[in-house]
């Protein structure tokens, strides 16, 4: 069922990339920015799963937008501190934007549904 949702499939792949990338951060950053990045990324995946299996998704989807915004900041810090390259930063920025659009569209659709 989860595979029927493109946002789940996309974020699953992005999370794998994030986990691989943060493992290469310097040791001094592993318990700060790397941990926060991975925890927020996994919370985003958990939220997507929760939204798939919940009828009233609006509050969950709004929370997912907040996670995406946090990840944008974490990745910008990682780029500024040179933990990730320009190419990596461009990749993750695009993935976060696409995921945000997908969640935003889902949220918009949920808000226009008629109450049961």
Q: Is pLDDT of 114 > 90?
A: no
Nearest-10 crossing angle of helices 6-22, 35-52: 170
User: Which is nearest to 21 in space by CA: 65, 82, 99, 100?
Assistant: 82
Top-confidence residue, 4 or 85: 85
Judge contact between 40 and 63, C-beta under 8 A: no
Q: Structural domain tally of the chain?
A: 1
CATH number at residue 95: 1.20.1440.60
Count of CB atoms situated within 10 Å of the CB of 25: 19
Q: What CA–CA distance (Å, rounded) separates 112 from 10? A: 24
**What six digits make up the tokens of 115?**
């109450």
Q: Output the pLDDT for position 113.
A: 79
- Could you report how far apart the first and last alpha carbons of the chain are, in Å? 23
Q: What is the pLDDT of residues 89-109, one digit of tens each?
A: 999 999 999 999 999 999 999
Whole-number CA gyration radius for the chain = 15
Domain range for 16 is 2-112
Phi then psi for 12, rounded to 5 degrees? Answer: -60, -45
Average pLDDT, the chain: 94
Q: Is pLDDT of 115 > 80?
A: no
User: Would the pTM count as exceeding 0.85?
Assistant: yes
Q: What is the pLDDT of residues 30-78, one digit of tens each?
A: 899 999 999 999 999 999 999 999 998 999 999 999 999 999 999 999 9
């Amino acid at each position: 069922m989860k595979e029927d949702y493109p946002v789940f499939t996309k974020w699953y792949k992005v999370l794998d990339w994030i986990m691989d990338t943060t493992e290469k951060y310097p040791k001094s950053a592993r318990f700060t920015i790397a941990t926060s990045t991975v925890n927020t990324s996994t919370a985003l995946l958990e939220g997507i799963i929760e939204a798939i299996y919940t009828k009233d998704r609006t509050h969950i989807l709004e929370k997912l937008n907040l996670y995406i915004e946090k990840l944008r900041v974490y990745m910008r810090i990682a780029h500024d501190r040179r933990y990730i390259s320009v190419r990596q930063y461009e990749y993750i920025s695009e993935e976060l934007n696409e995921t945000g659009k997908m969640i935003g569209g889902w949220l918009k659709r949920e808000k226009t549904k008629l109450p049961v």
